[in-house]
Amino acid sequence: MKKPSGAAQPSLRQQRRNPIVRVLVEYRYLHLMVLPGMLFFLLFKYVPMYGIIIAFKNYKGAAGGFSAIMSAPWIGLKNFEIFFKSLYCERVFKNTIYLSLLRLLFSFPAPILLALMINEIRQNWFKRTVQTITYMPYFLSWVVVAGLLNTMLSPDNGAINTVIKMSGGQPIYFLTSKQWFRPILIISEIWKNIGYGSIVYLAAITSIDQEQYEAARVDGANRFQQIIHITLPALSEIIAIMLILQIGKMFDDNFDQIFNLYSPSVYEVADVFETYVYRNGIQQSKFSYSAAVGLVKSVLALAMILLTNRASRKLGAQGLF
């Protein structure tokens, strides 16, 4: 005699009718692991999006929270018009694009080159030592790095200027010099992030079939030829994805770095979207105007991601979507 299965039957029918429920139940532990990340983006990325309407209103920052934002008078595109007609618009665009191009030329290839060099080290203890030394600066905040740079580059008793003065030269005011400020930004960013950025490339290199290298050595290929014809082609997909992400951040300048290093004397070469938004929104309380400028930056960043992803797929590489 069969046992009644009426209690279990509805749940099976429900799972068959609704594949979403079946997937959620089957992979419930994986979904629980993803849940904290989803909550983070929901609370800190999506929920605050309602504040975009401030860019189209004359919001004075009065008390009242959401109700004050909703009751503020509409002014349409006036904030955007003020920004595009201002003297700062060209400077902010030019500095943002120029610094982003410098990062693409110097900061982006640096982790790739480091990963390739570390992969060529045969002594494991030396390889681990190099990885640790290059990875450690990533854990330093830009506040600490800025303090170190201020100490090292001080015109009075900094190590760099001490060497210059001992060589018979004149001290250089690096952090207030329009000529030196951009190179310092790029060099300090490479020093801080090169070790962390190389991890993803090292992980991809370890997945390459070692038989390819053995076959190349049998054919007489040296190490450089192996890198060119085996390692780099194997990294092409991850390089394309990282390039898309990097270009998508062209307008998302490293605010912490620039804010802790720059001063009014270098605004002309260092003022970018985020620093300009900070000064107008936080220091001058122009909330609606700064929200409009920030929205312009976000739209441009989204356009760059879409264009780069499409170009990547057209060239045969894997895109983000």
Indicate where the chain has its CATH 1.10.3720.10 domain(s): 84-314
- The more confidently predicted of residues 247 and 315 is 247
Say if CB 280 and CB 201 are below 8 A apart. Answer: no
d(CA 309, CA 319): 5
244 has pLDDT over 60: yes
191 has pLDDT over 90: yes
* pLDDT value for 282: 84
- Hey, CA dihedral for 6, 10, 12, 17, is it positive or negative? positive
* pLDDT value for 68: 76
In three-state form (DSSP H/G/I as H, E/B as E, the rest C), the secondary structure along the chain is CCCCCCCCHHHHHHHHHCHHHHHHHHCHHHHHHHHHHHHHHHHHHHHHHHHHHHHHECCCCCCCCHHHHHHCCECCCHHHHHHHHCCHHHHHHHHHHHHHHHHHHHHCHHHHHHHHHHHCCCCHHHHHHHHHHHHHHHHCCHHHHHHHHHHHCCCCCCHHHHHHHHCCCCCCCHHHCCCCHHHHHHHHHHHHHHHHHHHHHHHHHHCCCHHHHHHHHHCCCCHHHHHHHHHHHHHHHHHHHHHHHHHHCCCCCCHHHHHHHCCHHHHHHHCCHHHHHHHHHHHCCCHHHHHHHHHHHHHHHHHHHHHHHHHHHHCCCCCCC
* pLDDT value for 8: 46
* pLDDT value for 122: 85
Plot region of 117 (φ>0 → left; ψ -120 to 50 → alpha; else → beta): alpha
Q: Is 84-314 assigned to CATH 1.10.3720.10?
A: yes
Average pLDDT over every residue of 180-188: 93
User: Percentage of residues in the chain with pLDDT exceeding 70?
Assistant: 91
